[in-house]
Amino acid sequence: MKKLLLVFFLLLSQLGLAQTGEIKREVIGRDIGQLKGIEISGRIIDEITGEALAGATVTVPELKINKITDNNGSFQLTLDRAEYNLQFRYVGYETVNYPITAVGDGRISIKMIQEDFQLDDVVIYGSDPDKNIRSTDMGAITMSMNTMRELPPFLGEVDIIRSMATLPGVSQVGEAAAGLNVRGGGADQNLIQFAGAPIYNPTHLFGLFTSFNADAVNGVTLYKSVIPSRFGGRGSSILDIQPKAGSIAKWGGDLMVSNFSGKVGINGPLVKDKVSIRGGFRGSYINWFLGALSNPDLKNSAANFYDGNLVISAPISEKNEFTYSYYTSYDDFAFASDTTVSWKNNSHSLQWKSIINDKIGLEALGYYTQYDYSIFNRSGINDFDLNSGIKDYGIKAYFYYKFSDTNKVTIGGDFKNLELQPGELVPSQGTESGILPQKVQNEYGRESGIHFQHEFEIGEKFGMSYGARYDMYGYYGPRVVREYAENQPLSDGTAISETTYGDGDQIQTYNGFGPRGSLRYSFSKSSSIKLGYNKMYQFIHLISNTATIAPTDVWKLSDNYLKPQIVDQISLGFYNNFRGNIFETSIEVYYKDIQNVIEYKDGANLILQNNLETELVPANGRAYGIELYVKKNLGRLTGWASYTYSRSLRQVITPFEEEIINDGEWYASNFDKPHDFTLIGNYKVSTNTSISATFGYSTGRPVTFPEAKFDYTGNNLAYFNRRNEQRLPDFHRLDFSVNFKLPGKGKFYDGDWTFSILNVYGRKNPFSLFFVDESGAPPQALRLAVLGVPLPSISYSIKF
């Protein structure tokens, strides 16, 4: 009877609601009879993780107002005394309807819950649907991990760097090249930072793989055009990878196995609702199988890698949050030889975000990162270890002050200390060895910068952002620096004297003023035009004599001879969204001027080289291009198409005839690929199944063909003269993947299966052509194709 009564009562109350439309309405503020100008602030967080949701939309339908939450998930509304039906929306989260009665100043705290990912409609835009139109940021692209998961995986894994390369203006040298080339810049012109700490070699398996575990990453932002003034030190782009915090509510984890590697992750509250932790580990088991192969080169090869992450996040109050992040990666490989190459990254960072009040906040970060790489020779004759490394630690901090929602000033500064060990040769047989221990002088540099930026809107139509960064760089002893005879090329033969600098002595300084600015004019809510200008300085250089980032490459600081790279970029873009932001389109053009880019003398010797200046020549660089981009954000079929026409050119003119390359004319850089087209599609077949495909086409990259063959000591040698005058055949490749769930009850059965095929039609895209004279064959060109066959992979992942 009681039960019946209860049911009846419940029914009645439901009916009552339905009939009267009476909703439980929260009264905000203390009623002091205020009628206008009621300030309501609030913050939106993820209910599970406690993470602030930046870029969520707050809608007041009654006033037709939309607000976007800031980086801290906060928002402010100024309302009149009335009832409102607030709506909170965020991509991938369930929309929250929140009726209020505003009677006085007050705060709201909103917790949003992630939608189950089995959406019929996949949404691939970042946080904020019309951000591309409204923001004054130019060329800043945020890619969510969900978007990356929609792309066909590389060997069963989401690959962050490869995903970025599908964007317009971003390319890679080839299939085994880890570095990115952003708008005609070299791979070292990108600052790749994880949780604020720079990572010097983000690769596994000699560049096949990106060494960031996608499960440990929250989101990735690439700045390629107007780079916010708080970033500096690299010429072309900033790739900012944010770690993912654990849940403050409950423990969980994930597990993935593929035919190549496996990973496991766990996260949960260390202190419930206060401190969360997330740890992850990924490793390969490729070595177990190498020995079983018949190919002798592979049989005698070894390859190992792993990476690990740890994030501890303590949102100790609504206004203060500390995040500690640790990242490590390790690799070694020996390809059919007695020589093993190994490298490892270790980085720590501690971040503090604080909101002092509604107008003022600050972010501070300290990091320590170390990159070590070694070559071990175990041939039995004069065995040695060759060790190199970089230690980089620094702090950065900035304040912001908001005059209003659309008027914000940021001021900050940063400092970093760099110590490079370019190479130390250690004989491994002790005193018996026939080689000497040797050490290239360490390099010491300090980089600091101060910056400010002011973003504001003038009415509905105009938005503007301007700022500047002042970089200060010093190169310090201890070091012995050579001087060279005037009016002669730098070489061992023209060295005339040496100066010894003591510990901490300043050897050389460079300062640079880098203005940034962008201007936006909106034609309407869905279309705008933006103009931007940017100047960047770069004091650390990757000295690489290969087309890709190799583990044997040397990093070098600017010194007396090697000047900082200076990049000027001007860009213009037109942005238009259609049909309620379902379609996003953009056209951007840019022109870039690069000073002091590094080129190499023919046959430069870079290893164990104390005087690198004798092997390098300064070059001018320029790059320009047009980028077209169409993206469909919503629906069963989502994806994008991008087309870039761009050139990346170099010019080497020096007073010395023997150093001039290609007669001082402009020539194509190693990664100049004029036409570059990418088409990506993802189709949701059903709730449990989706398929996706990626097609990429680009002009073949430049190569140098021999102009003749000649005979020397019985070898038919190739005579190369002008660099990069021919091209590899065009590159094109289709990748395909299917993702499905087998619906089931058990936790361990309803995981995600992903099956993918890279290079579906097995094109042998050449990575390089090289010219050899082997006995038994005429001198000829050989092609190296990294992915010469269709490459299937399968992976299975579960969450618990």
**Of residues 508-527, which lie at the interface with another protein (CB under 8 A)?**
none
User: Among 7-15, 227-235, 516-524, 761-769, which window interacts with another protein (CB under 8 A)?
Assistant: 761-769
Provide, rounded to whole angstroms, the least separation between the CB of residue 139 and another protein. 29
Minimum distance of another protein from residue 731's CB (angstroms): 14
Residue 177 is a binding residue for another protein (CB under 8 A): yes
> Reduced to 3 states, what is the DSSP secondary structure of residue 685?
strand
Count of chain residues binding another protein (CB under 8 A) = 94
Strands 26-28 and 96-102: parallel
- Interface positions, 186-215, toward another protein (CB under 8 A): 205-208
Nearer to another protein by Cβ, of 119 and 293: the residue is: 293
Figure out which of the listed residues 126, 152, 174, 467 binds another protein, where binding follows CB under 8 A.
174
Half-sphere exposure in the Cβ direction for 640 (13 Å, CA): 27
- Give the integer Cα–Cα distance in Å for 582 and 122: 11
Which of positions 614-643 make contact with another protein (CB under 8 A)?
A: none
Q: Does 705 bind another protein (CB under 8 A)?
A: yes
What's the min distance (Å) between Cβ of 592 and another protein? 23
Q: Which two tokens stand for residue 632?
A: 């469909």
Regarding 781 and contact with another protein (CB under 8 A), the answer is yes
Q: Report the site for another protein in 444-473 (rule: CB under 8 A).
A: none
| Closest among 800, 627, 774, 649 to 714, alpha carbons compared | 774
Handedness of CA 61, 66, 72, 78 (dihedral sign): negative
> Using an 8 Å Cβ cutoff, are 545 and 603 in contact?
no
Q: Which residue, 66 or 491, has its beta carbon nearer to another protein? A: 491
Q: What is the CA radius of gyration of the chain?
A: 29
| DSSP string across 703-735 | E---SEEEEETTEEEEE--STT-EEPPPEEEEE
Q: Which of residues 358-417 bind another protein (CB under 8 A)?
A: 380-382
Question: Which of 572, 630, 769, 798 is the binder for another protein (CB under 8 A)?
Answer: 769
Q: For residues 65 and 76, is the Cβ–Cβ distance under 8 A?
A: no
Task: Kindly tell me which residue out of 260, 306, 555, 671 binds another protein, with binding defined by CB under 8 A.
Answer: 260
Q: Does 498 bind another protein (CB under 8 A)?
A: no
Closer residue to another protein in complex, CB, 139/766:
766
**Is residue 20 exposed (0-12), middle (13-18) or buried (19+ Cβ within 10 Å)?**
exposed
The DSSP output letter for 699 is P
Closest CA to 510 of 541, 545, 544, 537: 537
Our finding on whether 655 is near another protein (CB under 8 A) is: no
List the one residue from 65, 82, 266, 290 that touches another protein (CB under 8 A).
290
What number of other Cβ atoms are within 10 A of residue 386's Cβ?
A: 20
Instruction: For the segment 419-448, give every residue that binds another protein (CB under 8 A).
Output: 425, 434-436, 438
In the bound state with another protein, the residue whose beta carbon lies nearer, of 406 and 605, is: 605
By C-beta, is 156 or 618 nearer to another protein?
Answer: 156
List the one residue from 1, 2, 292, 776 that touches another protein (CB under 8 A).
292
Strand blocks (E) in 176-301? 181-182, 190-194, 197-198, 203-204, 209-210, 217-223, 237-243, 252-258, 261-271, 275-284
Q: Is 35 strand, coil or helix?
A: coil
Among 131, 439, 709, 732, binds another protein (CB under 8 A): 709
Q: Is residue 494 within the footprint of another protein (CB under 8 A)?
A: no
State yes or no: residue 336 binds another protein (CB under 8 A): yes
At residue 181's C-alpha, the angle toward residues 222 and 170, to 5°, is 55
Q: Encoding tokens for residue 573?
A: 């873009």
Please report how close the Cβ of residue 284 comes to another protein at its closest, in angstroms: 10
Q: Which is nearer to another protein, 266 or 302 (CB)?
A: 302
Region binding another protein by CB under 8 A among candidate stretches 17-25, 84-92, 295-303, 474-482: 295-303
Give the residue, chosen from 706, 732, 738, 799, that forms a contact with another protein under the rule CB under 8 A: 706
Q: How far is the CB of 613 from another protein (least distance, A)?
A: 16
Cβ(332)–Cβ(341) under 8 Å?
A: yes
CB of 385: closest distance to another protein in angstroms? 13
Subset of 534-553 contacting another protein (CB under 8 A) = 545-548, 550, 552
3-state secondary structure 421-454: EEEEEEECCHHHCCCCCEECCCEEEEEEEEEEEE
Part of the chain binding another protein (CB under 8 A), chosen from 16-24, 76-84, 598-606, 637-645? 598-606
